């Protein structure tokens, strides 16, 4: 795989690779959203595994050229596409309940409890100044179809916060790996007529 990424900010790490491997192969034909994609490594790894309907959504416009180059250089268009949005529901080019699967490696530091990195790109990638776990929960509730799945990785110390946010209407499995946890969350509210049929970019 060919990968272009910035020198600073979010870069490929073991967490991203583990998360991409964590998504079961049986979802390869489903509509998958990589939330907070960075340079697109998770989306690229899913496409490499044969996933056919993947959208990489990134909040920072500076990642746009990296995403575009990586998709083209690896020959994954049109099954993998990239979109830029700031993460607020009103800015998203999506309809409610349009995704079957969301994968997310969110910023792992709480801004209020950690020293800010030197650059803006690094700060947005590593601290939850623009994408908090509460934002992830809200977007998951809005975008996932009933019966849809969220796969995420985060520090073990933030698991209690995530469990609290997803306490209602979700089922969850947790896999611990040292100081990290991977979570598999399923939206368990009953399906309604027509739910999940909204267009997907």
Tell me the pLDDT tens digit for each residue of 124-141: 555 455 678 888 999 999
CATH of the domain at 110: 3.40.50.150
The arithmetic mean of pLDDT across residues 55-77, rounded, is 93
* Residue 4 belongs to a domain: no
**What is the residue range of 135's domain?**
14-187
Inside any domain, residue 40? yes
Q: Measure the CA–CA gap between 99 and 33, rounded to whole angstroms.
A: 7
- Domain count for the chain, please give it: 1
Question: Considering the domain boundaries, does residue 199 fall inside one?
Answer: no
**Contacts for 201 with CB less than 8 Å, ≥ 6 apart:** 55, 81, 83, 93, 94
Residue 197 domain-assigned (yes or no): no
Tell me if 1 is assigned to some domain. Answer: no
Residue 6 lies in a domain: no
39: in domain: yes
Closest C-alpha among 152, 175, 167 to residue 101: 152
Strands 180-187 and 170-177: antiparallel
Is residue 5 assigned to a domain? no
Whether the predicted model's global pTM rises above the 0.95 cut? no
| Structure confidence at residue 191 (pLDDT) | 53
């Amino acid at each position: 795989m060919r990968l272009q990424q910035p020198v600073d900010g979010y870069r490929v790490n073991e967490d991203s690779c583990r998360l991409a491997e964590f998504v079961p192969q049986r979802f390869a034909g489903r509509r998958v959203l990589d939330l907070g994609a960075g340079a697109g490594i998770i989306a690229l790894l899913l496409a490499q595994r044969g996933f056919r309907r993947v959208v990489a959504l990134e909040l920072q416009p500076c990642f746009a050229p990296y995403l575009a180059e990586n998709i083209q250089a690896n020959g994954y268009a049109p099954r993998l596409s990239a979109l830029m949005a700031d993460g607020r529901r009103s800015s998203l080019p999506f309809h409610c309940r349009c995704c079957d699967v969301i994968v997310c490696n969110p910023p792992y530091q709480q801004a209020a409890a950690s020293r800010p990195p030197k650059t803006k790109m690094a700060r947005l990638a590593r601290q939850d100044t623009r994408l908090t776990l509460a934002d992830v929960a809200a977007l998951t509730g809005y975008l996932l179809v009933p019966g849809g799945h969220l796969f995420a990785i985060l520090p073990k110390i933030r698991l209690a916060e995530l469990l609290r946010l997803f306490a209602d209407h979700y089922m969850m499995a947790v896999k611990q790996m040292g100081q990290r946890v991977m979570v598999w969350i399923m939206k368990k509210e009953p399906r309604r007529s027509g739910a999940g049929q909204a267009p997907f970019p």
